[in-house]
Amino acid sequence: MMSNIKQSIFLLIFITVPSFAKDWGRICIAPFPVTSETSPIPWNINKENGFTDFYVQLDKREAIQTSTKKSLWINKIPSNKEHIITILKHNKAVESFPFTINDYTFKQKENKDLCLFVNSFYLSWQLRTVESTGSWCPCWSSE
């Protein structure tokens, strides 16, 4: 009898733990693109003109300064809850948008990784799955 109870508890834990683990996702903040004077992009994005001094804030968490050299990760984000990403420059919000990780990753069972990046042509921030961004969102190499 006791053995059956132990087996039932083990089975219950074994079944529920993997599904619980899928309830979390993370966001990679891709390196901010820096252009050269000869770039086909209509804006000159470089450190000297201050275009790269942005911070990313998820909900009420501490804001993270973007980098021009490496990807940064925001971990342990509940995937079924609505969140707000706010982009800050000089401590002022310049862009914000709501999202739910599950809205982006509904076709994927395991991977709940999103990539936040700057579309350098339009100078707008975008959020997509890491897998759909291809090589221009180098989040795979900085885990």
- Rg (C-alpha) for the chain, rounded Å, is 19
Examine residue 1 and state whether it is found in any structural domain, yes or no: no
Q: Is the pLDDT of residue 102 over 60?
A: yes
Q: 6 phi and psi, to 5 degrees?
A: -60, -40
pLDDT tier, 10 (very low <50, low <70, confident <90, very high otherwise): very low
For residue 63, the 8-state DSSP code is P
Examine residue 109 and state whether it is found in any structural domain, yes or no: yes
Examine residue 17 and state whether it is found in any structural domain, yes or no: no
Query: What confidence score (pLDDT) does residue 100 get?
Result: 94
pTM score, whole prediction: 0.73
Examine residue 16 and state whether it is found in any structural domain, yes or no: no
Q: Where do the H-state alpha helices sit in the chain?
A: 2-21, 101-105, 130-133
Examine residue 68 and state whether it is found in any structural domain, yes or no: yes
% of the chain at pLDDT higher than 70:
64
Q: How many structural domains compose the chain?
A: 1
Q: Is the pLDDT of residue 27 over 50?
A: yes
Examine residue 47 and state whether it is found in any structural domain, yes or no: yes
Q: Is the pLDDT of residue 23 over 60?
A: yes
Is the distance from CB of 118 to CB of 32 less than 8 angstroms?
Answer: yes
pLDDT tier, 106 (very low <50, low <70, confident <90, very high otherwise): confident
pLDDT tier, 19 (very low <50, low <70, confident <90, very high otherwise): very low
Query: What confidence score (pLDDT) does residue 88 get?
Result: 93
Structure tokens at 109: 């069972």
Examine residue 5 and state whether it is found in any structural domain, yes or no: no
For 103, the domain range is 23-142
Averaged confidence pLDDT in the chain: 76
Query: What confidence score (pLDDT) does residue 81 get?
Result: 96
Which CATH number belongs to the domain containing residue 79 in this structure? 2.60.34
Average pLDDT over residues 17-36: 72
Examine residue 122 and state whether it is found in any structural domain, yes or no: yes
